[in-house]
A and B are shown apart, each in its own frame.
Chain A
Amino acid sequence: MKRLLSPALRTGSLLLLLSVLAFAVADGAWLARVPSRDHARTNPYQGQPDAISAGRRIFVEHCAHCHGENAEGTKKRPTLRSLRVQQQATEGDLQWLLLNGNMKKGMPSWAKLPEQQLWQVIAYVRTLHQ
Chain B
Amino acid sequence: MKSPLFAVSCWLALILTTTVAFPQERPYFVTYSHEMEEPGNLDIELFNAVGHPPGGNLFLGSNIEFEYGVKAWWTSEFYLDGQSTQNDSTIFTGFRWENRIRPLLAEHRINPVLYVEYENTSADKALREIVGHDGVPDFIDSNAVARKDIEREMELKLILGSNVHGWNISENIISEKNLSNDPWEFGYAWAVSRPLGLAARAHNCSFCPEKFQAGFEMYGGLGDRQSFGLHNTSHYAGPTMNWTAPNGTTLSFSPQFGLNDYSVPHLYRFGVSYEIEQFLSRFHRGGQ
The finding on whether chains A and B are genuine partners in a shared complex, rather than unrelated, reads yes
Chain A interface residues (CB < 8 Å from chain B) = 49-51, 53-55, 57-58, 61-62, 65-66, 75, 99-101, 103-104, 106-109, 111-117, 120
Which among A62, A103, A111 is the interface contact of B71 at CB below 8 angstroms?
A103
Cα A117 to Cα B198 with chains together (Å)? 7
A residues within 8 A CB of B203? 53
Give min CB distance, B45 to chain A, whole Å: 16
Interface check B106, CB cutoff 8 A = yes
B residues within 8 A CB of A103? 71-73, 102, 105
Interface check B35, CB cutoff 8 A = yes
Give min CB distance, B106 to chain A, whole Å: 4
Beta-carbon contact of A109 and B19 below 8 Å: no
B residues within 8 A CB of A53? 202-203
Cα A71 to Cα B166 with chains together (Å)? 26
Closest A residue to B286 using CB positions: A75
Beyond contacts A115-B198, A116-B166: 9 other A-B pairs, Cβ-Cβ < 8 A, are A55-B200, A65-B19, A65-B21, A65-B277, A103-B72, A107-B72, A109-B36, A116-B198, A120-B199
Interface check B229, CB cutoff 8 A = no
Which among A57, A107, A112 is the interface contact of B200 at CB below 8 angstroms?
A57
Cα A111 to Cα B107 with chains together (Å)? 8
- B198-217: contact bitstring with A at CB < 8 Å (1 yes, 0 no)? 11111110000010000000
Chain B interface residues (CB < 8 Å from chain A) = 19, 21-22, 24, 26, 33, 35-36, 38-39, 69, 71-73, 102, 105-107, 163, 165-166, 168, 195, 198-204, 210, 248, 277-278, 286
Which among A61, A108, A116, A120 is the interface contact of B72 at CB below 8 angstroms?
A108
Cα A58 to Cα B23 with chains together (Å)? 11
B residues within 8 A CB of A51? 199, 202
Closest A residue to B74 using CB positions: A103
Assess A111 versus B22: contact at CB under 8 Å? Given A54-B201, A100-B107.
Answer: no
Which among B35, B198, B201, B248 is the interface contact of A114 at CB below 8 angstroms?
B198
B residues within 8 A CB of A57? 200, 202, 204
Would you mind naming 18 contact pairs between A and B with Cβ atoms under 8 Å apart? A49-B202, A54-B201, A55-B200, A57-B204, A58-B200, A65-B21, A65-B278, A99-B107, A101-B105, A103-B71, A104-B105, A106-B72, A108-B38, A112-B26, A113-B24, A114-B199, A114-B210, A117-B199
Cα A80 to Cα B62 with chains together (Å)? 42
Cα A109 to Cα B111 with chains together (Å)? 12
Give min CB distance, B213 to chain A, whole Å: 10
Closest A residue to B278 using CB positions: A65
B residues within 8 A CB of A115? 165-166, 198
Assess A117 versus B72: contact at CB under 8 Å? Given A57-B200, A99-B107, A103-B102.
Answer: no
A residues within 8 A CB of B165? 115
